[in-house]
């Protein structure tokens, strides 16, 4: 008999990833038998996986695995039976009876598990934390009900990952990879139009109360990339969706003498400076000057400001075990210090992500970083809404409620 796994390639990859980018070597496979084939899966095309991080208990002829939160599974190798408790069946969304036959029992050696006792625990809780973040973001409402949606502007050098961040946020909410915004690498910005993107909660779900505004990349050359003067118009909400940027021709306000601003709902409430973590320390003086100018404009408009560092390789090491704070390893990096000094952004608002680029499926840890970054952007936006002068909030309440 062939000692090859019954798992498909993609199932084996998912299992390996669940354990933290490990590789699996099949050690043992129970003999082939004539039990009826079970339709273990529900109608979904994915595979539910779960770690029961316990010592295996040998109970008579049963091998028993159970978790602290009440999930349990027993394997009866003599009878080729699996005993699953209700909580486990529910968690894995399986369509099986509590006692079911199994086709094969396979035991693998796992290579490449990090030699860090906290690592496995983190892998176990990352999915729960992703669900918690998704719930918190679904329940989010902008502060003081001044606007129905918060607008976050993504601004940064050409190719820093602005459009990819929107795609990543959308993918995390959709539950599968999506690529609505065009991304890629070129000498000049791939994004040529100003885009105001909304995100739905799942396929056909309700629209979430935030919008991500994607802009053309900044270029250190003059008359290339996003015009710095365009940014103040964007911040004030004067630029419509799909506006075609022209690096040689800054936006001219329709009514240069008019002092009335567009309503608060159309304005930007948070600016995210999107920077590739690998090039933060080598930004040219001209690029730094442009970023500082945006920072000055954003400060003058009183909007929230965060920095989003993309292309982070070691996602598992960004957050501590509580998933609430960045590890000291990360905050002490020179890139973080540089951003702090360059844009005067507090450390809590320096966020790290690894956008979806060439992955084949969603990764829980990537989702956690993406969603945690979004949550912090919304908090920064809320802070700026709370800080509005009374005359602004009075008129905003009027326009939003009417």
Ligand X SMILES: Nc1nc2c(ncn2[C@@H]2O[C@H](COP(=O)(O)OP(=O)(O)OP(=O)(O)O)[C@@H](O)[C@H]2O)c(=O)[nH]1
Phi and psi based region of residue 387 (left: phi greater than 0; alpha: psi -120 to 50; beta: remaining): alpha
CB of 220 to ligand X, least distance (A): 13
User: 256-295: which residues touch ligand X (CB under 6 A)?
Assistant: none
Q: Is 354 in the site for Mg ion (CB under 5 A)?
A: no
What binding mask, one character per residue, do residues 233-262 give for Mg ion by CB under 5 A, x or -?
------------------------------
CB of 193 to Mg ion, least distance (A): 10
Q: Which of 88, 126, 158, 308 lies at the binding interface for ligand X (CB under 6 A)?
A: 158
What binding mask, one character per residue, do residues 207-226 give for Mg ion by CB under 5 A, x or -?
--------------------
CB of 207 to Mg ion, least distance (A): 22
Cβ atoms of 15 and 24 within 8 Å: the answer is yes
Q: Which of 55, 185, 258, 401 lies at the binding interface for ligand X (CB under 6 A)?
A: 185
Q: Which stretch binds ligand X (CB under 6 A): 45-53, 101-109, 325-333, 352-360?
A: 352-360
Q: Where are the beta strands (DSSP E) in 232-389?
A: 270-276, 304-310, 350-352
Q: Which residue is nearest to ligand X (CB)?
A: 217
Q: Which of 240, 261, 256 is nearest to 389 (CA)?
A: 261
For the chain, what is the largest distance between any 2 Cα atoms, rounded to a whole number of angstroms?
86
Is residue 367 within a helix (H) or strand (E), and if so which, with residue range? helix 364-386
Q: Which stretch binds Mg ion (CB under 5 A): 48-56, 149-157, 159-167, 226-234?
A: 159-167
CB of 211 to ligand X, least distance (A): 16
178 vs 172: CA distance, rounded Å: 9
Residues sharing a CB contact under 8 Å with residue 7, sequence separation 6 or more, in sequence order: 15, 106
Q: Is 163 in the site for ligand X (CB under 6 A)?
A: yes
77-86: which pairs have CB atoms within 8 A and are 24 or more residues apart?
Answer: 77/30, 77/105, 80/30, 80/33, 80/35
User: 197-256: which residues touch ligand X (CB under 6 A)?
Assistant: 217
- The first and second tokens of residue 236, run together, are 């004030």
Nearer to ligand X, 154 or 264 (CB): 154
315 vs 59: CA distance, rounded Å: 39
| Residue 39: other Cβ atoms inside 10 A | 10
Q: Is 171 in the site for ligand X (CB under 6 A)?
A: no
| Site residues, Mg ion (CB under 5 A) | 162-163, 190-191
| Site residues, ligand X (CB under 6 A) | 158-164, 183-185, 189-191, 217, 310-311, 354-355, 357
């Amino acid at each position: 008999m062939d000692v090859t796994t019954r798992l498909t390639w993609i199932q084996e990859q998912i299992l390996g990833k669940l354990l933290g980018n490990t590789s699996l070597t099949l050690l043992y496979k129970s003999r082939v038998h004539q039990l009826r084939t079970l339709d273990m899966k529900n109608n979904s095309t994915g595979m539910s996986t779960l770690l029961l991080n316990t010592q295996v208990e040998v109970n008579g002829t049963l091998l028993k695995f159970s978790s602290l939160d009440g999930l349990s599974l027993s394997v009866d190798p003599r009878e080729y039976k699996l005993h699953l408790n209700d909580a486990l069946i529910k968690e894995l969304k399986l369509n099986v009876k509590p006692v079911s036959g199994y086709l094969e029992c396979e035991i693998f050696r796992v290579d490449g598990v990090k030699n860090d006792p906290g690592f496995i625990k983190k892998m176990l809780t990352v999915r729960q934390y992703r669900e918690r973040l998704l719930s918190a973001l679904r329940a989010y409402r902008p502060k003081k009900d001044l606007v129905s949606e918060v607008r976050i502007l993504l601004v940064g050098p050409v190719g820093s990952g602005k459009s990819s961040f929107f795609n990543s946020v959308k993918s995390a909410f959709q539950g599968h990879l999506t690529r609505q915004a065009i991304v890629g690498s070129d000498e000049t910005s791939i994004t040529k139009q100003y885009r105001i993107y909304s995100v739905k909660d799942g396929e056909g779900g309700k629209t979430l109360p935030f919008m991500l505004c994607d802009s053309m990349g900044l270029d250190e050359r003059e008359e290339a990339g996003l015009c710095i003067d365009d940014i103040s118009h964007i911040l004030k909400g004067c630029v419509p969706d799909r506006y075609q940027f022209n690096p040689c021709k800054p936006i001219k306000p329709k009514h240069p003498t008019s002092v009335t601003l567009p309503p608060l709902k159309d304005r930007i409430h948070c600016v995210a400076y999107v920077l590739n973590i690998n090039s933060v320390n080598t930004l040219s003086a001209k690029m730094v000057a442009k970023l500082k100018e945006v920072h000055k404009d954003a400060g003058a408009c009183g909007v929230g400001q965060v920095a989003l560092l993309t292309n982070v390789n070691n996602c598992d090491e960004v957050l501590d075990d509580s998933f609430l704070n960045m590890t000291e390893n990360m905050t002490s990096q020179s890139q973080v210090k540089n951003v702090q000094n360059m844009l005067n952004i507090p450390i809590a608002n320096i966020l790290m992500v690894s956008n979806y680029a060439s992955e084949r499926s969603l990764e829980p840890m990537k989702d956690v970083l993406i969603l945690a970054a979004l949550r912090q952007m919304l908090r920064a936006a809320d802070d700026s809404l709370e800080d509005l002068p009374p005359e602004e909030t009075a008129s905003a309440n009027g326009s939003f409620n009417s």
